[in-house]
Structure 1
Amino acid sequence: MLKLLKSILLIIFCLSLAHASAQEEKPRKRKKASSDKEVQKEPGSIDENEEVNAFNPLQKMGAKQIDRRDDLLWHSGAANTVYDGAGNISLMKASRYGLKPGLELSSYLLLNYWMPNISLKKRWRNETWYVASKHGLYSATPGLRWFNKRDYPSIVDNANHIPIILSMNNELVVSRLIMNDGSCGRAKPYIIFTGGIGLDFGVPLGDSDLTEMQKHFLTNRSPALTGSGYTAYLRARVDWQMTPMFQLGADLHYFRGNFSGNGAIEHRAELQALVLPKLSISLGYALSLANYTGTNSVGILPLVDVSYYFGKRQGRQKGLFGNKMF
């Protein structure tokens, strides 16, 4: 019985070696035949012996293609969140980090010296419609004291008492993604529509003699920044991917609150270029229309931003569309 078992194992071992040898011979024969015919590849073609992406025949399979993030089309103001463990570091825009699927932490890093700030966004729905809520905490006290010492009367007019001011933001955001073509493996133009409604308010922790700021982009935010009241707003945004490299975005805000004129309109537009897979540059402008006291009715600012992206994409069930295929 033992001899029979040894004989069977020996036969299986020999057959395995023969099969492995045959598999090694096949690529060599193909390579020789291809060499004899002197086939010339066209630019951008893939060798027939290489493993090919089933979704895009012109793209090789590999970790780099699979791991590359596909969520960069979502602006920080949209209702989607970045992948957990992924995010971006930006010069002027919000820098973001995914704590876990559907939960995002963000902050305007450059402003933290004058206005420490942090926000948490929770995505509640990611099907046809994306729904999220955003909650932020910030304080303009360091900046108000800084401008007061350097004599900027249009921002702080000789204040004697500047207490610690805690300001909060709460916002409900809804987004809708529209694809022109759902084909896998292709970069197709897209449009994302976003709407939001929010409220900012500030609470002074002590006596204050701060007055209203007299600057476009600040007067309408003055109640929350100085702790003198609230500002409510409605906003709409659209993002459009013109090409895989260029993205165009624009938004419109309407503010209402305890400030001179009681109403204000702001508009922003920006063109973003993905110059490298993990680096983008944005150029644009911000426009303000309002009847503020002591200022013109129109204010405009240039917008420049540089963003670095890090982290990897997730599987399909956690990715762009948030649903399993089957």
Structure 2
Amino acid sequence: MDQYIDGSREGAVSEPIDQERTEAASRLIGSMIDNIETVIAGKHEVVKLTVLCLIAGGHVLIEDIPGVGKTSLVWALAKSVNCEFKRIQFTPDVMPSDVSGFSIYNQKTGEFEFRPGAAMSNIVLADEINRASAKTQSAMLEIMEERQATVDGNTYRMESPYMVLATQNPIESLGTYQLPEAQIDRFMIKLSIGYPSYEDEIRIVMTGEASKKTISHIAEKDDVQTLAELCKRVVCSREVTSYLVKIIEATRKHPEIKLGSSPRGSIALYNLCRAYALSKGRNYVLPDDVKYLAPFVLGHRIILNHGAIAEKKVPADLVASIIKNISVPVHLDRKEA
């Protein structure tokens, strides 16, 4: 059997998925992407990566100018899955208790009752997250990493599936607070939507409002949970995992990078690669999956040194150069792949 399918099974918890279930999962993922694209025109890659993050159990940071469809993308994702959706409009006066919840005294019962915060949902839109104070932003750290909130000594678990999609405006700094590195690192990927093409913008103008009224859910929470479980059974051989870690390690040794990716970045890339392979109808990860996804996962996790910034280099370019200089594991036998 091909090394990408077999390899070393150290740490494997179950057998790979059979081809029939793999293809069924791929079709469902494709249907979710197509459904969202009825609202978000001409942004297939952005939509695809957002859906894959949901399946891989990650969070998404969307940084772009106002009016290009950041909120609409999140709304369409929530509409495609029959689950609970909440939006937090972050402003400087939003308190941590508004996010995680708070306890209130009930005079009738004589007991304190817990009131869930806005972050307690399945899909959460953290709109303009960089407008919240540092104290409020810190309330998201435990929620995003542990999928739980601790209030007054009690721990409340988030219901699965759980995903935070945060937006921020890169061109306006007045009244904003820079996201701490610890929080940025908790996002699986960082995306930018960008302007639509000429034809796509015509479609948006003519059918945008109508498409929002007609979109409906095509998947249940249980379906997303099933996809997440199948994703965990996609095989990533030791050879491919080694290739992935070499890329991560190279970001820590690059002369133009001041801060490289953390092990959390390795785990995020590993999980996203498995979700991507599943969407392609495969039960194993290829090195090409790693090469394609690495810039999206690592771009926001590395900090350039002053020399690289002065030369106007961007993290994605350095990630691309790192990938180019690392040898790819040899595919032994494509006939059996």
Could you tell me the TM-score, scaled by structure 1's length? 0.21
Higher helix share: 2
- Structure with the greater relative contact order (CA < 8 A, sep ≥ 6): 1 or 2? 2
Higher strand share: 1
Could you tell me the TM-score, scaled by structure 2's length? 0.20
